[in-house]
């Protein structure tokens, strides 16, 4: 509302900084209301260049949000550099347009060029640093919350699961003996079979809870995960074929990590199974499993072409008893987060409703010296 007015009648302000930020972070849907507000205010302020401002802002509206999805996939440093570059580029194009209209490029104009480019670049840089700091703080808070949830689940599992499994096993055995009796009726036999099915389901839930227990020393290995990846792929193949899902695997990793073989195996199977089930409603699809290395980290990318998830569903994945499936217990994903927490790894989830979901597991590589020190 209070821009700098040039002698030529044109005005100069910082309106394109929030415009670019919203366009990069939110895409077309988020930036459109801001585009309308920007042009309404430009008409209200008046002066020369109103039409040119409308045309220029329309061009920015068309071009910048196109890079939103790529921008959001970048790391913090990449987003900071990209946003600053777009701010510099936008103001540079604006000044070039202004130079074509004014034609009389005196000393004052070149001072404007220096100040405008410097101001926009510096302000955008400062704002992006603050935004990335806020994002880091939010992620840190979420990390603390889900670590606390996992610790509670782990403690409960260790103290309760074994005690529950013993009576379940005994009950299961007696029911199986009773089912073989020749004195019971068909109706009673049907009730016994239903009871056995429910006991089997209860045992599965207990087994899932036992997965939260601390890594067992006899299961700890130092490996590049090749055997676990191949084994879990073979295990899941019949299930994938049953649901018309094509499984594709690529392995390009030489780094090694120290982990519990059983927990990592169960973690991978849970993610594969979730991906396959997400494609059931679409009649099948493709499950991509890619293992690579980057900056001393093992990266496991599991991508499906299923129904996808909303941002709210993604934010609730690590919570106990939360599931996107009607019959799910939520323990499968909680076990995945628990396993990653134990190997000091990280999980990133990217999903779009109707298009699919990608899980990116990042596991820090460890040296043999570190493994030996931990054993001591």
Q: What is the pLDDT of residues 320-344, one digit of tens each?
A: 554 555 555 556 777 788 788 888 8
Q: What CATH number does the domain located at 217-375 have? A: 3.30.565.10
What is the band of 50 on the pLDDT scale with cuts at 50, 70, 90? Answer: confident
Instruction: Report the mean per-residue pLDDT for the chain.
Output: 82
| Rounded mean pLDDT, 345-367 | 89
Give the per-residue pLDDT at 331. Answer: 66
Compare 173 and 359 and report the one with higher pLDDT.
359
- Distances in Å between the Cα of 319 and the Cα atoms of 2, 282, 324, 327 are 48, 27, 12, 16
List, in order, residues 6 or more apart from 234 with CB less than 8 Å away. none
Distance CA 344, CA 271 (A): 18
Q: What is the pLDDT of residues 236-262, one digit of tens each?
A: 888 899 899 999 999 999 999 988 888
Compare 213 and 265 and report the one with higher pLDDT.
265
CB 60 within 8 A of CB 23: yes
Give the per-residue pLDDT at 244. Answer: 92
Q: Write the Ramachandran bin of 192: left for phi over 0, alpha for psi from -120 to 50, otherwise beta.
A: alpha
Neighbours of 140 (CB within 10 A): 10
Give the per-residue pLDDT at 53. Answer: 81
Q: What is the pLDDT of residues 151-196, one digit of tens each?
A: 666 666 666 666 777 788 888 888 888 888 888 888 888 888 888 8
CB 253 within 8 A of CB 298: yes
Q: What is the pLDDT of residues 267-310, one digit of tens each?
A: 898 899 989 988 988 888 999 999 999 888 999 999 999 888 88
Q: What is the pLDDT of residues 66-111, one digit of tens each?
A: 999 889 888 889 999 999 999 999 888 888 877 777 767 777 778 7
């Amino acid at each position: 509302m209070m821009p700098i007015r040039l002698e030529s009648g044109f005005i100069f302000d910082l309106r394109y900084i929030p415009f670019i930020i919203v366009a990069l972070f939110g895409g077309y849907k988020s930036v459109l209301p801001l585009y309308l507000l920007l042009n309404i205010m430009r008409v209200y302020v008046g002066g020369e260049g109103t039409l040119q401002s409308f045309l220029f802002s329309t061009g920015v509206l068309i071009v910048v949000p196109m890079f939103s999805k790529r921008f959001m996939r970048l790391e913090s440093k990449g987003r900071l550099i990209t946003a600053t570059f777009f701010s510099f580029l936008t103001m540079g194009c604006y000044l070039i347009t202004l130079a074509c209209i004014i034609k009389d490029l005196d000393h004052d104009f070149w001072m404007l060029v220096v100040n405008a480019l410097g101001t926009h670049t510096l302000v955008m840089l400062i704002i992006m640093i603050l935004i990335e700091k806020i994002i880091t703080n939010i992620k840190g808070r979420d990390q603390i919350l889900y670590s606390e949830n996992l610790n509670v689940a782990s403690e409960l599992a260790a103290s309760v699961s074994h005690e529950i499994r013993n009576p379940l096993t005994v009950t299961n055995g007696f029911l199986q003996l009773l089912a073989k009796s020749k004195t019971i009726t068909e109706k009673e036999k049907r009730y016994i079979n239903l009871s056995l099915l429910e006991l089997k389901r209860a045992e599965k839930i207990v087994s899932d809870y036992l997965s939260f227990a601390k890594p067992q020393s006899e299961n700890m290995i130092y490996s590049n995960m090749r055997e676990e990846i191949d084994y879990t792929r073979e295990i899941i193949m019949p299930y994938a074929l049953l649901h018309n899902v094509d499984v594709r695997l690529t392995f390009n990793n030489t780094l090694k990590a120290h982990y519990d073989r059983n927990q990592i195996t169960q973690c991978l199977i849970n993610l594969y199974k979730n991906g396959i089930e997400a494609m059931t409603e679409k009649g099948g699809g493709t499950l991509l499993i890619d293992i690579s290395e980057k900056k001393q980290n093992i990266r496991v990318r599991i991508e499906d072409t299923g129904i996808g998830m909303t941002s709210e569903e993604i934010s609730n994945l690590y919570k106990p008893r939360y599931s996107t499936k009607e019959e799910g217990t939520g323990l499968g994903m909680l076990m995945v987060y628990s396993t990653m927490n134990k190997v000091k790894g990280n999980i990133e989830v990217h999903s779009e409703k109707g298009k699919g979901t990608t899980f990116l597991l990042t596991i820090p590589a460890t040296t043999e010296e570190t493994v030996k020190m931990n054993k001591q």
